[in-house]
Structure 1
Amino acid sequence: MNVEIIVIGDELLIGQVTDTNSSWIARSLNKIGWEVMEITTVRDRHVEIISAIRQSFDRVDVILMTGGLGPTKDDITKQTLCEYFGGKLFFDVEVQKNNDLFFERRGLKMNDSTRTQAMVPDSCTVIQNPVGTAPVMWFEKDGKVLVSMPGVPAEMQHAMSEEVIPRLRKRFPDNTAILHKTCLVKDFSESALSEFLSDFEAGLPDSIKLAYLPVPGVIRLRLTGRGEDESFLFRQLSESFSQLEDRLGKHIFCHHDATMAEALGLLLIREGLTIATAESCTGGNIAHEITSVPGSSAYYTGSVVSYANEVKVNVLGVDPGIIEKYGVVSGEVVEQMVRGVQRLLKTDCAVATSGIAGPGGAVPGKPVGTVWIAVAKGDKIISSRYCFGDSRIVNISRFTHMALLQMITLLCE
C-alpha cells in the first residue's frame, strides 16, 4: 500500500522547526509493509494545501497530514479541509470534554482560543486526542482517505500507534510483508564494499535487496525482503543475511541496526568492561550519546569535560609542559587526558578528545575541524588525528562519531 505525507507549517519551511514526524511515520508504516511515495511540505496557505492534497490523491489512496491544527489564526488546516471535503465546522461536545479533562489533569485554566479546538468539520470522523487538545480527523472521499493529525510529535505518535494504523489496516487490508536485517560494517569505503559484495548482491533472490547507508568510517548494510508469504520471506532473508555475515566476518561490528553508542555499549557488555570520557572540544557530547542508551549505567562511569587547560592539568593530570610544547590539540595531550580519566574514574577503557570545532581557533597546521582522539583499553592507547573542516555543530557531531568508532575498533581487535 502506498501512502503520501503532507506536512503543514511556515515554521518548517523557514527552518525554525525540523520535521521529525515524516521520518517517524515512514518507519512505522514500513513495519506493516506500507511505503511512503512522497513527502510534501507546504505553508499555512489554503490554496497550497488544497493543491498538495489534489496532487497526492492523483497518486495514492491514503494521505497522512500533520500540522496546522493549533488554536491560533495562522492554523487554517481545519477550514481548508472543510473547503476540500465539504461541510462546515461545528462545536463537538465530546472533543470539549476531552480537552476539559486534559486541562484538569494538568491543573491549567482553558482560555477562549483553546475552546476553538472543539470546532471540527462535520464531514470527518473525529478521533479523540487524549494527550493533547487538537483532535485527529479522518476524512473519506471517493474511496480515498486523508487523516489530519496534530504536528506535536508526541501527539502524532500516539494517534498513529493507537488509532490511525489499526484503522488503516482494517480499511485497506494488505498482506504484503516488508522485513529488514541490518549490520554495521567498518574498514571499507562504500565503493570498495560494493565491489567486494558484487557477486553476493547479484546472487540475491528477487525478493531481497541490499542497501548501502554510509557515514564516515562506517557503512550500515540493510537487507530488505518484500513478499506476501512472511514466513518464507523471513527464511530467505535470514539465509541471505547469514551469507553476508560469513562474507564480511570481523568487519561487522554490530549485527543489527544500532547507533554507534548502542554498538559500543553492546561490545562493552560482552567484554564486561567499563568506560569513561575526557572531553574538550566535544563538550560532553560523547557522554550524551553514551548515556542516551538505556542501561548504559552498566558500563559508563562518568566524564570530565576539560574545556579549559586548567582542568586538563589540575584534574586529569596533563603535563603543562606537554601542552606548551605540542599544543593542546595534539596526540600527546589526548593520550595524557585518556590516561588521566581512566585513572581518575578507575575504568577499563576511556576516550579523550581535543580539537578545534570552530569557527575560530585555527592555528598554523591545525585548521578548523582538526581533532585528536585517544582511546584506551587497559594499558593500550591509540591516538589519531582527523580533519573535517565543517561548521561547529557538524564538527562536534563528527568528532563524537569518530571517537566512538575509534573505541569500537580498539575493542574489536
Structure 2
Amino acid sequence: MIATIITIGDEILIGQIVDTNSAWMARELNRVGVSVLEIMSISDDEDHIVSAFAKAEQQSDIVLVTGGLGPTKDDVTKTALCTYFQDELVLDEATLQHVKDLFAKYVKDKLLPANETQAMLPSKATILKNEYGTAPGMLLVNNDTTFVSMPGVPFEMKALMINHVIPYIVEKGELPYIYHRTILTAGQGESTIAHRIEQWENLLPSHVSLAYLPSLGSVRLRLSCKGMDKEQVTRDVDAQVDQLYGLLADIIVGESNDETLSQQISALFKSQEKTLAVAESCTGGQIAQQLTQHPGASQFFKGASVTYATQSKVDLLDVDQALIDKYSVVSEEVAIAMAIGARKKFKADVAVSTTGNAGPDKGDSDVAVGTVCIGIATGDQQYALKFMMGNHRERVIQKTVNKSMELLQKELLKKAVI
C-alpha cells in the first residue's frame, strides 16, 4: 500500500512552525507495512489543495491530510474537499453536540457561530470523532483511493490515527512486513565507517537496504527489509546485523529503532534502579530536558543545576574557587568537581557534568572555543574527559549533549570509555 501525506498551512511554509506531524505519521504507517511515497506541505489555498489532492490520488492508495480545519476563514480544507469530491457541507448533529459538550466542560468563553461551523462537514464523508478537539476527522473514498483529513494539532491527529486510521488501514488489506534494525555508533564519522564496511556493503542482498543517518558525534546505520514472509525478512536482516557487529564492535554503542539514546538511558537507569543528577554549564539544561521529556523520568532523575556562571559553580555545587583559579573553569578537574557536587546535592547514584567554551567569545576561560570537559561521578569513581567540539556554537552544544549521553550509557553498560 502506497501513501501520500499532505500538510496544509501557510505557517509551515513561512517557517513559523515545524511540521512534526508528517514524520510521526510516516513512522506509524511504516509500522504496519505502508510505504510513504511523498510528503507535501502546501499553502492554505483551495486551488493548490485541490491540485495536491489530484496528484496524490494518481500515485497513492491512501492520502493523509492534516491542517486547515479550524473555525476561521483561512481554514479551507473542508471546502477544498467538497470541490474535489463534488460534495457539499451539511450539519452533522453528533459533531455539533460534541463541540457543545467540549465548550461546556473545558472552555470559559461563549460558544460562537464560528465554533459551530466545525460541525458543517462534507455529506459524503465518514466522520471520525475527535475526542480531544472540535474538528473531527473525515474519511472519503474516490476511485479506490482513500482520503483522510485530520486536524493539524499533533495530539488530536495522533489520537485519530491510532484509534481510527491505522485500524482502517490494517483491515483494508494484506500488508507486507517491514523490519528495521538501527545500529548506534559513536566516535567515527560517516565516511570512515563507510570505508570500514565497504566490502560488506557491496555484498548486501538486493532486498536488504542500508542507510547512513549521521548526527553530531554519532552515526546510525539502519538496515531495512520488506516482504510478505515475516520470518524470512527478520532472518535476512538479523544475519547482516550480526556481520556488522563483527566489523564495528569497537564503535557500536547500542541499537535504536524508534527509541532515542535518551530513552535508552532512561530505561537503563530504571532497570538498574539507579538515580541521576546533572550539572550543566555550556549545555544550558539541554541534557536535563532530553531526559525529562519522557514519561516516568521521575523514577530516576533527581534534579539538575544549570550553573552557567563561574560563581554559581562555587555557590551551588561547592566547586573550590582555588581549583578554578589553578586549572580554569573549563577543565577536567572542574568537571569532576561539578559532577561530585551534583551527586551530593541531589543524593544521586550517578552524576554527569558539562563545562566548556561554546563560543563565539571565550567567556570566563582562556581555553580555545570548542573545548569541552564532561565529568562523571559514581559511588566508585570520578573522572572527566576533554574534547574539541569544533568552532560553531550550536554544533559544540549539541555534540556535548550527545557525548554526555554516550558516556552515561557506557557507564551504565560498564563499557570502557573511549
Alignment of 1:359-398 (within 5 A): 362=363, 366=367, 370-377=371-378, 378-390=380-392, 395-398=396-399
1:130 is matched with: 131
Cα pair 2:61 2:146 within 8 Å, conserved: yes
The one-character-per-residue Cα deviations of 1:253-276 (angstroms, maximum 9, x if unpaired) are 223433222333455566665432
- 2:328, 2:365 within 8 Å by CA — same for their partners in 1? no
Change (3 A) 1:191 1:153: same
Aligned partner of residue 72 in structure 1, secondary structure? coil
Per mean C-alpha deviation after superposition, the further-off stretch among 259-268 and 89-98 is: 259-268
Q: Residues 390 and 53 from structure 1, CA distance in 2 versus in 1: closer, same or farther, beyond 3 angstroms? A: farther
Segment drifting more, 87-96 vs 71-80: 87-96
Where do 5+ consecutive residues of structure 2 fail to align? none
* Equivalent-residue separation in structure 1 for 2:322 and 2:254 (angstroms): 41
> Structure 1: which 5+ residue stretches go unaligned?
none
Counterpart of 1:101 in structure 2 is 101
> Residues 268-347 of structure 1: matches in 2 within 5 Å?
268=269, 273-347=274-348
Pair 1:87-2:87 in alignment:
yes
Map 1:13-412; keep pairs closer than 5 Å: 13-106=13-106, 108=108, 109-171=110-172, 173-257=173-257, 258-268=259-269, 273-357=274-358, 362=363, 366=367, 370-377=371-378, 378-390=380-392, 395-410=396-411, 411-412=414-415
1:46 to partner: Cα distance:
1.1
Of residues 141-150 and 97-106 in structure 1, the stretch that sits farther from structure 2 once superposed is: 97-106
Q: From the superposition, tell whether residues 294 and 141 of structure 1 become closer, same or farther in structure 2 (CA, over 3 Å).
A: closer
Deviation sequence 1:72-111 (CA, Å, 0-9, x none): 0111111122111112211111211222232233254422
Worse overlay, 216-225 or 382-391: 382-391
AA partner of residue 42 (structure 1): I
CA contact (8 A) 1:278 1:341 kept: yes
Q: Which residue identity is paired with 1:261?
A: S
Give the TM-score normalised by the residue count of structure 2: 0.89
Q: Distance in 1 between matches of 2:351 and 2:118?
A: 52
1:158 alignment partner AA:
A
Q: For 1:155 and 1:267, how far apart are their aligned partners in 2?
A: 31
The residue type paired with residue 412 of structure 1 is K
Map Cα deviations across residues 263-292 of structure 1 (whole Å, 9 max, x no partner): 334555666654321112223221222233
Offset of residue 364 of structure 1: 8.5
Tell me the distance in 1 between the aligned counterparts of 2:343 and 2:403: 19
Deviation (angstroms), 1:67: 0.2
- State the Cα deviation string for residues 3-37 of structure 1 (Å, max 9, x = none): 11111001111111111110011000001111111
Check 1:265–1:364 CA distance in 2 against 1; reply closer, same or farther (3 A cut): closer
Structure 2: how far apart are the matches of 1:270 and 1:139?
A: 46
Between the aligned partners of 2:40 and 2:202, the Cα distance in structure 1 is 35
CA contact (8 A) 2:275 2:349 kept: yes
Q: C-alpha distance in 2, partners of 1:2/1:184?
A: 29
Deviations 1:146-196 (A, max 9, x none): 21111011111111111112223334x133111112221223321222222
Paired amino acid for 1:310? Q
Matches of 1:291 and 1:364, distance apart in 2: 30
Q: Is the 2:213–2:220 contact (alpha carbons within 8 Å) kept by the matching residues of 1?
A: yes
TM-score by length of 1: 0.90
Amino acid at match of 2:405: L
- Letter of the aligned partner of 2:208 in structure 1? I
Question: Which deviates more from structure 2 when the two are superposed, residues 141-150 or residues 27-36?
Answer: 141-150
Aligned residue for 2:317, secondary structure, equals coil
Deviations, residues 114-173 of structure 1 (Å, cap 9, x unaligned): 1010111223222222221111112222222221111011111111111112223334x1
2:304 aligned counterpart, secondary structure: strand
Q: State the secondary structure of the residue aligned to 1:38.
A: strand
8 A Cα contact 1:69 1:134, kept in partner? yes
3-state SS in 2 of match to 1:315: helix
* Post-superposition offset of 1:338: 1.9
Task: Give the letter aligned to residue 15 of structure 1.
Answer: G
Residues 201/387 of structure 1: CA separation in 2 closer, same or farther (3 Å cut): closer
CA contact (8 A) 1:86 1:123 kept: no
Aligned length: 411
Distance of aligned partners of 1:114 and 1:367 in 2 relative to their CA distance in 1, 3 Å threshold: farther
> Are 1:375 and 1:382, in contact at CA under 8 Å, matched by a contact in 2?
yes
Query: Matches of 1:113 and 1:412 in 2, distance apart?
Result: 60
Q: Does the 8 A contact of 2:389 with 2:396 survive in 1?
A: no
3-state SS of paired residue (1:213): strand
